[in-house]
Structure 1
Amino acid sequence: MIHFVLLISRQGKVRLTKWYSPYPQKERTKVIRELSGLILPRGPKLCNFVEWRGFKVVYRRYASLYFCMCINQDDNELEILEIIHHYVEILDRYFGSVCELDLIFNFHKAYYILDELLIAGELQESSKKTVARHIAAQDSLVETAKEQASSLSNIIAEATK
Structure 2
Amino acid sequence: MIHFVILINRQGKVRLTKWYSTYAQKERSKVIKELSGMVLSRGPKLCNFIDWKGYKVVYRRYASLYFCMCIDKEDNELEVLEIIHHFVEILDRYFGSVCELDLIFNFHKAYYILDEVLIAGELQEPSKKTIARLIAAQDSLVETAKEQAGSISNIISQATK
Query: Normalising to structure 2: TM-score of the pair?
Result: 0.99
| Structure 1 outlier segments of 4+, above 6 Å | none
Deviation readout 1:104-141 (Å, 9 max, x if unpaired): 00000000000000000000000000000000000000
2:107 is aligned with 1:112: no
Give the structure 1 partner of residue 138 of structure 2.
138
**Post-superposition CA distance 1:20-55 (Å, at most 9, x none):** 000000000000000011110111100000000000
What is the TM-score when the length of structure 1 is the normalising length? 0.99
Q: Secondary structure at the match of 1:74?
A: coil
Cα deviations by residue, 1:72-113 (Å, 9 ceiling, x for unpaired): 000000000000000000000000000000000000000000
CA distance in 2 between partners of 1:10 and 1:157 (Å):
48
Distance 1:37 1:157 in 2: 53
Partner of 2:14: 14
Which structure 2 residues correspond to residues 1-161 of structure 1 after superposition, within 5 A? Answer: 1-161=1-161
For the residues of structure 1 that align with 2:149 and 2:110, how far apart are their CA atoms? Answer: 25
Gaps of 5+ in 1: none
Cα distance in structure 2, aligned partners of 1:10 and 1:137: 34
Shift of 1:160: 1.0
Provide the rounded CA distance (Å) in 2 between the counterparts of 1:8 and 1:46.
18
Q: Provide the C-alpha distance between the structure 2 equivalents of 1:60 and 1:74, rounded to a whole number of angstroms.
A: 19
Cα distance between partner residues in 2 of 1:29 and 1:157:
46
Instruction: Provide structure 2 residue ranges, at least 5 long, that are not aligned to the other structure.
Output: none
Could you tell me the percent identity over the aligned residues?
A: 84
Tell me, in whole angstroms, the C-alpha distance in 2 between the residues paired with 1:148 and 1:123.
35
